[in-house]
Amino acid sequence: MNMTRLDRKGILSYIAVTFTITYAVEGVLIASGFRITRLPAYYGQLMIAAVMWVPALATWLTIKFVTREGLAILNLRFGSWKPYLHTALLVPLCFAIIYALTWLFGLGKPDWQLTQFLAAIRETAGTALPPTPPAAYILLGLFAATFVAAPFINALFGLGEEIGWRGYLLPKLLTLGKPKAYLLLGVIWGLWHLPLIAIGFTYPGQPVLGILAFMALTTAFGIYLNELTLRRRSTILAGWVHGLFNSQKLGIWTLIFPSVDPLVGGYAGIVGIAVWLALGLWESRRHQ
């Protein structure tokens, strides 16, 4: 692979295929009435999960029919098990720090009884439900799902994205230098989510500020992912960390803190973006 000049053909092909397929699928979903709510329609969830493999599909199509490169450039290797264990502890710790700061700064209060979560389930069910277990038992089950089972499931879908973002696009952009490559990748990765942001994903009711905030989030968290991927030469590790992130953001934290302004507090607000940026810069300096 020639790293002395920018591969415009490969980059533009990958971006065009990724965005065209994703926007088309999500556009059809939105036109059919799908909206992001606390408990979205089941078929919509399946389609959104499937879309996470579109970057991998776009990578394969670009390599196969446009640039005709080998799959070896994608660094699809597992590598040492140690960073998987390390990140399995570090990413949840960062979420805990984020929500502790959110609580400390008065940006949100914990709902230990899960009243909003249980009310949403009853509203969705539309019928009377049997008595629910004590909130402590529900929290214990959610804790186990968030920290034990969910990371492995989410990593399968996270890998679909990371084959494209970290496996293919990141090395292509590095000819611009790390700062420009990281910034450009973060913006592109954020814009890829634009249709979902527009209908309330992550930032309900904030389509404009929401996409700006999400680009800041993908750029900040992307620094950490980029550094790990380059140093370990493992796109599979990036998929694992992506899965860890998603399992936490979709797991116990937003249920315990349901009333946080997402633009300010929580994992995707100013507090979260600051923590992810600090993590990325720390990882960069630690292995400079």
Confidence at residue 271, expressed as pLDDT on a 0 to 100 scale = 98
Does residue 1 register a pLDDT over 60? no
- Which residue in the block uniquely carries the two structure tokens 């590790």? 237
The number of angstroms, rounded, from the C-alpha of 10 to the middle of its chain's C-alpha atoms is: 24
Evaluate whether residue 223 is within a structural domain. Answer: yes
Evaluate whether residue 2 is within a structural domain. Answer: no
Number of domains observed in the structure of the chain:
1
What DSSP character marks residue 81?
S
Give the pLDDT band of residue 117 (cuts 50, 70, 90): confident
Residue 41: Cβ within 10 Å count: 14
Q: Is 25 exposed, middle or buried (0-12, 13-18, 19+ CB in 10 A)?
A: middle
Evaluate whether residue 261 is within a structural domain. Answer: yes
Give the structural domain span for 28.
8-286
Give the pLDDT band of residue 2 (cuts 50, 70, 90): very low
Confidence at residue 124, expressed as pLDDT on a 0 to 100 scale = 65
At residue 194, the 3 state secondary structure works out as helix
At residue 234, the 3 state secondary structure works out as coil
Euclidean distance between the first and the last CA atom of the chain, given in angstroms as a whole number: 24
Model pTM? Answer: 0.92
Evaluate whether residue 156 is within a structural domain. Answer: yes
Confidence at residue 119, expressed as pLDDT on a 0 to 100 scale = 79
Among 122-131, 205-214, 275-284, the range scoring the smallest mean pLDDT is 122-131
Percentage of the chain modeled with pLDDT above 90: 73
Evaluate whether residue 1 is within a structural domain. Answer: no
Q: What are 13's two structure tokens? A: 């092909």
Residue 277: Cβ within 10 Å count: 17
Evaluate whether residue 3 is within a structural domain. Answer: no
Torsion angle, alpha carbons of 216, 218, 223, 224, to 10: 130
What DSSP character marks residue 64?
I
